[in-house]
Amino acid sequence: MSRQPNRSQPASRRDFLGQSSRVAAATALVGAVVPKVHAAGDDTIQVALVGCGGRGTGAAVNALSVKNGPIKLVAMADVFDNRLKISHQSLAQRFNNQVDVPEDRRFVGFDGYRKALDCLKPGDVAIFATPPAFRWAHFQYAIAKGIHTFMEKPVTIDGPTSKRMLALGEESVKKNLKVGVGLMCRHCVAREELFKRIQDGQIGDIITLRCYRMHGPVGSAFSGPKPDNMSELLWQISRFHSFLWASGGCYSDFYIHNIDECCWMKNAWPVTAQASGGRHFRGDNVDQNFDSYSVEYTFADGAKMFMNGRTMAGCHDEFASYAHGSKGLAIISTTSHSPAKCRIYKGQKVDKNDLVWAYPQPEPNPYQLEWEHLIDAIRNDKPHNEVKRGVEASVVTSMGRMAAHTGQVVTFDDMLNCPHEFAPGLDQWTMSSPAPIQAGADGKYAVPLPGITQSREF
């Protein structure tokens, strides 16, 4: 890891352009550009859902709720049959006339995404909401098929797949594919208005950004010993927040939103990160996560962003982001992601007597808005490709995580060029494949050892 920033603009392509030709060959393509289909709202857009857990089902709800033309769910895939069944039942009950997924278009297994996308035609839409590790492989196939994509965040969790996804993103732009990334805060109208006001200088120069996600255990981030009735691989996928290879852990999968919205307000990505963190009252838990993270990001102009994460019961909870400028304070988000309740205060305190501006309530739901924007872009052939920004947000998040897990100062380029691929060869996995990380004799998995293991996270 570098001890000093090695460049002021971190998003260099010099180190991954060599991969572009390989990725281009792999995606090889059914035509130079996806034709302008579904124009003027006169065609049905077909959707395939890959990853049928809570977030995937929620994304499908948002997709089927868009009202600017007919949309149907026609295929589903997951590695867990029960999750697929529950998701299908829920969606069919709510959207009876828009869900047409008979048994022969419900696919279980690691190759299910291919079978589901094979049910679509060029210009249709795939939803990718599996654990993030699988994102690049699924996206590569969607590009080859000429299919527009909505992919959940983070889109990458390590250096090699980040380079791969950037190259794939360039291919998708060349094919005129529309791609949404699930950083829905970027579609929030309140935050958009706040961004404009900050860029207009209403709080002066941004000096410090603060973001917090501190609450009890979340998702599958804490896991006890593996049960005997599941394979190692499927169990790890079912508990994907517990394993760095699958999700980047709780840091990447949950904290990316707060990090991304702060970087948006700054209108820049940080160039370095240093951090601390640790495991505390873990009992028999075997996951790889730290319970607390404290990360200091530094931007090229010297401004700081502090990310504070904690998943411990009985402690002070906070879920918010703030921007401190030379003239005032901005509230970026207040309690979770939506509604944001963006506000500006004179001075540096949240005092109702110093309130300068507040976005009027209620706010439109950004989870729905990101789908409205994507489908509008597909139907009306508007530019809409969020891959590059999604990868950069994922890399920035990963550099903070890696700084905490290694105890080193990590730059954007360090993270992008780190050769440690967490789950190599996953595009070839079958239901009988071994998991990429194995438990020790005590049933526990390798955890980060800051200062001891300095060049990789586990």
pLDDT beyond 90 at 332: yes
Please indicate, yes or no, if residue 152 is contained in any of the structural domains: yes
Section 100-120 average pLDDT: 98
Percent of the chain with pLDDT over 90: 90
What local confidence, expressed as pLDDT, does residue 1 receive? Answer: 55
At residue 335, the 3 state secondary structure works out as coil
Q: Give how many domains the chain has, as a whole number.
A: 1
Please indicate, yes or no, if residue 168 is contained in any of the structural domains: yes
For strand 292-298 and strand 328-333, is the pairing parallel, antiparallel, or unpaired?
unpaired
The Cβ-side half-sphere exposure at 293, using a 13 Å CA radius, reads 35
| Cβ atoms within 10 Å, residue 361 | 8
Read off the pLDDT of residues 373-393 as tens digits, 9 standing for 90 and up.
999 999 999 999 999 999 999
What local confidence, expressed as pLDDT, does residue 308 receive? Answer: 98
d(CA 233, CA 136): 19
What local confidence, expressed as pLDDT, does residue 37 receive? Answer: 54
Question: Helix 189-199 crosses helix 249-266 at what angle (to 10 degrees)?
Answer: 50
CB 345, CB 357: distance < 8 Å: no
Please indicate, yes or no, if residue 277 is contained in any of the structural domains: no
Output the six-digit token pair for 34. Answer: 């996806």
| Residue 138 parent element (H or E) | helix 135-145
Q: Which residue has the higher pLDDT, 41 or 70?
A: 70
Q: Which residue has the higher pLDDT, 27 or 145?
A: 145
Read off the pLDDT of residues 337-357 as tens digits, 9 standing for 90 and up.
999 999 999 999 999 999 999
Please indicate, yes or no, if residue 218 is contained in any of the structural domains: no
- List beta partners, residue 331: 322, 343
CB 376, CB 382: distance < 8 Å: yes
Section 271-300 average pLDDT: 96
What local confidence, expressed as pLDDT, does residue 339 receive? Answer: 97
Please indicate, yes or no, if residue 131 is contained in any of the structural domains: yes
Read off the pLDDT of residues 199-242 as tens digits, 9 standing for 90 and up.
999 999 999 999 999 999 999 999 999 999 999 999 999 999 99
At residue 237, the 3 state secondary structure works out as helix
Amino acid letter for position 396: V
pLDDT beyond 60 at 371: yes
CB 286, CB 223: distance < 8 Å: yes
Cα separation of the two ends of the chain: 15
Section 299-320 average pLDDT: 97
Please indicate, yes or no, if residue 5 is contained in any of the structural domains: no
- Could you please report the per-residue DSSP string of 25-61? HHH--SSSS----SGGG-SPEEEEEE--SHHHHHHHH
Range(s) of the domain holding residue 99: 17-185+369-385
Section 50-65 average pLDDT: 98
What local confidence, expressed as pLDDT, does residue 14 receive? Answer: 36
pLDDT beyond 70 at 10: no
What local confidence, expressed as pLDDT, does residue 335 receive? Answer: 86
Read off the pLDDT of residues 408-440 as tens digits, 9 standing for 90 and up.
999 999 999 999 999 999 999 999 999 999 999
What local confidence, expressed as pLDDT, does residue 41 receive? Answer: 46
- Per the prediction, the chain carries an average pLDDT of 93
Output the six-digit token pair for 125. Answer: 């839409």
pLDDT beyond 80 at 27: no
Please indicate, yes or no, if residue 222 is contained in any of the structural domains: no
pTM strictly above 0.75 = yes
- List beta partners, residue 328: 346
CATH number of domain containing 55: 3.40.50.720
Please indicate, yes or no, if residue 211 is contained in any of the structural domains: no
- Structural Rg of the chain based on CA atoms: 22
What local confidence, expressed as pLDDT, does residue 111 receive? Answer: 98
